[in-house]
Amino acid sequence: MAGDLGYGTAAMFAVPFAFMGMCVKLTEIRTQQRERGRLNIYLDGEYAFSVQAILAARLTIGQELSLADVDALKAADAVEQAYERALTYLDYRPRSANEMRRYLARRMVTPQVIEQVISRLERSGLIDDGQFAAFWVENREAFRPRGAWALRAELREKGVPEDAIESALCELDERASAMRAAEPAARRYARQERQEFVRHMLAFLQRRGFSYSVARQVTEHYWEQAEGARDSRGE
């Protein structure tokens, strides 16, 4: 008799009723040479398909498989392959759920498999939009400060829900961020006349998503600092 492989997807990939009684015998399991971690499956003496090693662990030589079992195994392998791709994508940095959906879709993963992978990643804590939003804001703060407007736009583009965005931004000190962002520009423009200094600084800060009021405050602060430096030099 064909064994129950326990992959939980056989019903979704069932073959037509007339063929349900047909079985094939698993005659060989061979390590794949070109791709580590995958095994070639031979049915009735012929190569049939390959699967991830974790799935092949449930198989035994001589085992009889129904066509529904074979379809379930292939379906489980599609999920496992997509999951492995997702883990590789996460190696570079955390991802939002929507970023992961887009990535897998570009690699021709079916919507049904994508949602199974996303659910698995969320259950294991590898994808969490709230944590991702917090990471994104903290990373920007540390390396490339941005205003709340720009951060909100970036997170929306990555598909992060509004509640997660607002939670990540609730403690943002936009003026302090603008001060850090503007410091190199203020040094660069320090010898300009007031009108040019203000124009360049306001444009610089607003391009980085800071509000006009914050940009104006920070610009005035650095202009006073630049004037003080000029006076000390006797210019």
How confident is the model at residue 25, as a pLDDT?
A: 92
C-alpha distance from residue 197 to each of 56, 134, 213, 219 (Å): 67, 34, 16, 8
How confident is the model at residue 235, as a pLDDT?
A: 57
How confident is the model at residue 11, as a pLDDT?
A: 36
How confident is the model at residue 20, as a pLDDT?
A: 45
Identify the segments of the chain with pLDDT beneath 70.
1-21, 229-235
Q: Write out the two tokens for 90.
A: 């996460």
3-state class (DSSP) for residue 29: strand
How confident is the model at residue 6, as a pLDDT?
A: 52
CA–CA separation, 174 and 199 (whole Å): 20
- Return the half-sphere exposure (C-beta side, CA atoms, 13 A cut-off) of residue 52: 15
C-alpha distance from residue 121 to each of 12, 197, 233 (Å): 22, 49, 60
How confident is the model at residue 36, as a pLDDT?
A: 83
How confident is the model at residue 12, as a pLDDT?
A: 34
How confident is the model at residue 19, as a pLDDT?
A: 40
**Closest to 215 measured CA to CA, from 206, 228, 226:** 206
How confident is the model at residue 232, as a pLDDT?
A: 67
Contacts of 204 (CB under 8 A, 6+ apart): 182, 185
Please give the model's pTM, rounded to 2 decimal places.
0.79
How confident is the model at residue 17, as a pLDDT?
A: 32
